[in-house]
Structure 1
């Protein structure tokens, strides 16, 4: 009987873990009436990018792959038709112990006595699966596509997602791919509208 009680509980906990491993991405895009959909493009770091360093390459490569997926071709720096300026920021927000959504998981199984004299099992379990609460990592990506000839911005967008520190949803390589795919998927997208991509 215990096996039949705990099977759905374990399954529901596993599904909840999967859901939190892939948080949604909030995306906002703006563009001119008819932005370019092809041509050579080079990915460069946006001026004033707050998070400079080797990690930038991870985000730049993810954006470059998505740009080629939507029709652009990789071009040489300084001589491409377009330039994609990329910036990103990672911020950390501490969470209060067991506050809000950080409460330990509780599993309760009730008991009952039926008219036929059947007596059920009463069981209460409190499981702290989180240990010490982890910080929430917010990652934001910004991309601007400009014509190189006149530096005119023809398309720009921002994407943001959150994940628990140490989880797959907060790993830079995975987050960079997820943000780039959400931001440039369906390029150019609807201008001036914020959407949620799951």
Structure 2
């Protein structure tokens, strides 16, 4: 094996060992926007029910129904912390219409090690140049973009009292790849400082 081959083999061996290192997890702050109606005094007290937003459908089955229950339970807990009593829809004075979404951004797959070799021969001997590019992250994690939207209405009049949206991104190797953890983070961020300032967007860590 000549010197060039030995250098390339050694670098490949060390690079492949490094390529197994896990990519670091990423979690963004939660972006929250709220809109508050003039009847804000009605918010944060009395009875409320968490229901599917129009368009989600009443007959929810399977995984979608389970996901809705996860987000509804998280929102119900956050509303209770703000002074509401969460009850079934038939007994509620207000309703919180909930929608949720998760979008998956697939990460591109990259080769873990790239090696380039260049050699030259001159009057006083030979030189070997070796360039190595190593992707230390291995498989790049996918990004999960999660969001919820909530509209609180007076049930009797259907008047909108409050509306809010919350969203954040996290890689699938983070703690928030889990639906329960993500739902709780979104719900509590949305209710941070409830009802909030009309039209204001804040970031919650």
TM-score (norm 1): 0.71
Matches within 5 A, 1:31-110: 31-35=36-40, 36-49=43-56, 52-97=64-109
Counterpart in 1 of 2:16?
none
More divergent stretch after superposition (136-145 vs 75-84) = 75-84
Q: CA deviation at 1:26?
A: 0.6
Return the alpha-carbon distance in structure 2 between the equivalents of residues 153 and 52 of structure 1. Answer: 26
Q: Name which of 121, 131, 134 aligns with 2:138.
A: 131
Secondary structure, counterpart of 2:158 in structure 1: coil
CA deviation after TM superposition for structure 1 residue 34, in Å: 3.7
Q: Which structure has the greater CA radius of gyration? A: 2
Give 1:120's aligned residue: none
Q: Structure 1, unaligned stretches of length 5 or more? A: 1-15, 105-125
5 Å matches for 1:167-182? 167-182=174-189
Alignment partners' CA distance in 1, 2:96 and 2:167: 18
| Higher-RCO chain (CA-CA 8 Å, sequence separation at least 6) | 2
Q: Distance in 1 between matches of 2:151 and 2:134?
A: 46
d(CA) in 1 for partners of 2:29, 2:136:
23
Which residue of structure 2 aligns with residue 24 of structure 1?
A: 29
Partner of 2:117: none
Which residue of structure 2 aligns with residue 142 of structure 1? Answer: 149
Residue 73 of structure 1 deviates from its aligned partner by: 0.7
Long gaps (5+) in structure 2: 1-22, 58-62, 114-132
User: Counterpart of 2:65 in 1: which secondary structure?
Assistant: coil
